[in-house]
Structure 1
């Protein structure tokens, strides 16, 4: 337990380290993925229907393989700890993303995206690590701060990625992304301390059956799926939606990246406050409210007639976006016994990947067969419905600050 005590004393240092790691990883990933439709056009995919379909499939491929592997990595985390899990994720993601620079057909890119999913999950694992080493009364605040690292990366990434793509093309940006992820590993390996691993005994032997016997956890897994399906559904089609507003312009990648960055700036503003609010009154109270109003703010985006309107609604939604994922992670940590936390966060990661998979696929189908504006209707409605489910099934703690 001495390792655990050291980590508990230094949890603020761990937040700072993983904040920087998440910034590097997400800035790298968001340099290229929002502009996937433009990259596919360079590969010869031109019709709107085919472009929407290929974008949805390739965007989702990594999430399918990630959903398959996450429970296995959860078992790995229960045995070896989440720091080892971070090393595993960063190494695989960095190398394979670098290789995407050499993909010369949609099929090769699809294959590499599927393979990288077996090693992905760096951001989710970092949240699990911080949940494990932070005092419970500070969990929401710590996760809210950690969230801003990833969001800061989503601001910088699209702006730099859009500018670099417009100047040099898309392939060099894949290589830069892989290098950013590998560089973040140096901090994890040489600076981040090992998290405590709880010894398995005959009395507290971990099993997935124990995870699924908890109805609150099941509801939180469903909430994770809904949140990710909503967010990724709109994000995967944002470039095509921006293109429908401005037509064929030379800086379409930059304008699309700006839509993501504006929401990210608002997220950084709102996330720490929502994290502290959750610690004070309980995440079970804040989560359904944030989901409901976030869903309401998605709907007006479908009626945007120009980029100014779209950017205003994206900023308003971004103020609330950062309150959902930290609240879910904090609740899962509080509702889960320590010896099965790795498995619980493994299922959480699978739920997140499945949401990431379903969102772009549904959005691609809606965009290709109905109209791209109804992607926003889909995303908003499922968030609103999800808020009622969470309110119904997840009961507030009696004394949140001392839980």
Structure 2
């Protein structure tokens, strides 16, 4: 399949299917190691749970910090040399790195492996740029929703199988993850077409934009994109409440143990996949990106508020459908961003957005875990276990106001360079 054929609807659908499978395989691999990584850390720490907890925190912060630095570089490389080689390099690097972690015999070596995985974890970032290359503006939110479904499926199915494998041997999930990412590399090598033709690529690799600070400066060239970047940051920051405190909160508030929490998180994943795959496309087509964005964020605020007040497990379960509708926000915001950015800068813009998400991963866990610990502690002025969810609701509320402000203006054609001509210009504007 040549690059030029990607403009045909049938070829475009095939290219999106390739990206879906690539992202799904990558996140299946990451999901596989989630249950086993803490146990492998604990084993290498000599069985000390306290030492393992310290190292897990260090691993998480380091991974996010490396993503903050490397994402703009990956995006700039894809703008200059194309999306396909960066995706393939990501898959190959991750496959080798998973083998390295499977063989690690000490915590420092495992830490090095985790850092390297942060360097190569580029598939989701470049996938977003790839979609912008091959999809007309009025179909991008639907496509981002489908890729979001791949993300959800990977993080639902992966941990289930990873948990079973880690029960046999904590190193086994790493070997399976290595096999999956190598499979993704082979799949991409033989079937993944290039989406960015040479004539639309950046003329040179620009170091001034291939760093976190430079990439954020690049965002300021597009006023609406800069505002939407703040929205994407706040949405991701709010969602870090789940990995930061959900397990501890559920145990403290409802006395849920690991198996129950696993099933609840699986339910969250299933609902998320359903929203991404079935509702976002028709919803955005009917109401437009702007309304879909505000709709998702509004229900996200409602869901977090209910979680915060829920003093019984059934109340939290009843609120899950409301909170899951927050999934509308990401694809709608991404679609609005890509409509205003030149084709040769899509990779760098996506790298900049990934850097912001990484910042959320650095600061979010400390804020949410800290607020949870404070409001259940002996010295707290008010006993409020749901405080982290209220804090997440505040972040989303601020993001909703920013989204309302920065999406009021219509796109003026600033930088829309779609792979095909927009069939109906009014549909290509911001809703």
Question: Equivalents in 1 of 2:203, 2:174: separation in Å?
Answer: 45
By how many angstroms is 1:296 displaced? Answer: 2.0
> Aligned ranges for residues 4-15 of structure 1 at < 5 Å?
4-9=3-8, 10-15=11-16
Find out whether 1:46 has 2:49 as its counterpart: yes
> Residue 34 of structure 1 contacts residue 236 of structure 1 at CA under 8 Å; is this kept in 2?
no
By how many angstroms is 1:315 displaced? Answer: 4.1
* Alpha-carbon spacing, 1:286–1:63, altered in 2? closer, same or farther (3 Å): same
> Residue 156 of structure 2 contacts residue 269 of structure 2 at CA under 8 Å; is this kept in 1?
yes
Please give the per-residue CA displacement for 1:115-137, whole angstroms capped at 9, x wherever unaligned.
22111121222122112111222
> Aligned ranges for residues 23-62 of structure 1 at < 5 Å?
23-33=24-34, 40=41, 43=45, 44-47=47-50, 54-62=55-63
Question: Equivalents in 2 of 1:106, 1:242: separation in Å?
Answer: 30
Question: Equivalents in 2 of 1:292, 1:248: separation in Å?
Answer: 28
> Residue 221 of structure 1 contacts residue 348 of structure 1 at CA under 8 Å; is this kept in 2?
yes
Tell me which residue corresponds to 2:293: 287
> Residue 308 of structure 2 contacts residue 387 of structure 2 at CA under 8 Å; is this kept in 1?
yes
> Residue 131 of structure 1 contacts residue 139 of structure 1 at CA under 8 Å; is this kept in 2?
yes
Tell me which residue corresponds to 2:305: 299
Bigger Rg, which one: 2
Question: Equivalents in 2 of 1:38, 1:307: separation in Å?
Answer: 28
> Residue 242 of structure 1 contacts residue 255 of structure 1 at CA under 8 Å; is this kept in 2?
no
Please give the per-residue CA displacement for 1:219-270, whole angstroms capped at 9, x wherever unaligned.
1222222122222332243333344357696xx2x43332322112111222
Aligned CA-pair RMSD? 3.0
Question: Equivalents in 2 of 1:400, 1:282: separation in Å?
Answer: 11
Q: Does the residue aligned with 2:120 lie in a helix, a strand or coil?
A: coil
Find out whether 1:391 has 2:394 as its counterpart: no
> Aligned ranges for residues 198-277 of structure 1 at < 5 Å?
198-200=200-202, 211-244=219-252, 252=258, 254-271=259-276, 272-277=278-283
Structure 1 length as normaliser, TM-score?
0.86
* Alpha-carbon spacing, 1:227–1:242, altered in 2? closer, same or farther (3 Å): same
Q: Does the residue aligned with 1:237 lie in a helix, a strand or coil?
A: helix
Q: Does the residue aligned with 1:32 lie in a helix, a strand or coil?
A: helix
Question: Equivalents in 2 of 1:244, 1:194: separation in Å?
Answer: 50
User: Which shifted more, 386-395 or 256-265?
Assistant: 256-265
> Aligned ranges for residues 97-112 of structure 1 at < 5 Å?
97-103=98-104, 107-112=108-113
2:359 aligns with one of 354, 362, 372: 354
By how many angstroms is 1:297 displaced? Answer: 0.4
Find out whether 1:195 has 2:195 as its counterpart: yes
Question: Equivalents in 1 of 2:131, 2:193: separation in Å?
Answer: 11
Tell me which residue corresponds to 2:185: 185
* Alpha-carbon spacing, 1:308–1:184, altered in 2? closer, same or farther (3 Å): farther
> Residue 299 of structure 2 contacts residue 322 of structure 2 at CA under 8 Å; is this kept in 1?
no
Find out whether 1:172 has 2:172 as its counterpart: yes
1:345 aligns with one of 331, 347, 350: 350
Question: Equivalents in 1 of 2:52, 2:350: separation in Å?
Answer: 34
> Residue 302 of structure 2 contacts residue 393 of structure 2 at CA under 8 Å; is this kept in 1?
yes
By how many angstroms is 1:12 displaced? Answer: 0.6
* Alpha-carbon spacing, 1:338–1:120, altered in 2? closer, same or farther (3 Å): same
* Alpha-carbon spacing, 1:402–1:222, altered in 2? closer, same or farther (3 Å): closer
By how many angstroms is 1:354 displaced? Answer: 1.8
By how many angstroms is 1:45 displaced? Answer: 4.5
1:365 aligns with one of 348, 370, 376: 370
Unaligned runs of 5+ in 1: none
Tell me which residue corresponds to 1:321: 326
1:278 aligns with one of 280, 284, 292: 284
Question: Equivalents in 2 of 1:34, 1:230: separation in Å?
Answer: 23
Unaligned runs of 5+ in 2: 210-214, 377-384, 412-424
> Residue 45 of structure 1 contacts residue 51 of structure 1 at CA under 8 Å; is this kept in 2?
yes
By how many angstroms is 1:218 displaced? Answer: 1.2
Question: Equivalents in 1 of 2:285, 2:143: separation in Å?
Answer: 10
User: Which shifted more, 83-92 or 52-61?
Assistant: 52-61
By how many angstroms is 1:213 displaced? Answer: 1.8
Please give the per-residue CA displacement for 1:323-344, whole angstroms capped at 9, x wherever unaligned.
1221122111101122222221
* Alpha-carbon spacing, 1:244–1:57, altered in 2? closer, same or farther (3 Å): farther
Tell me which residue corresponds to 2:414: none
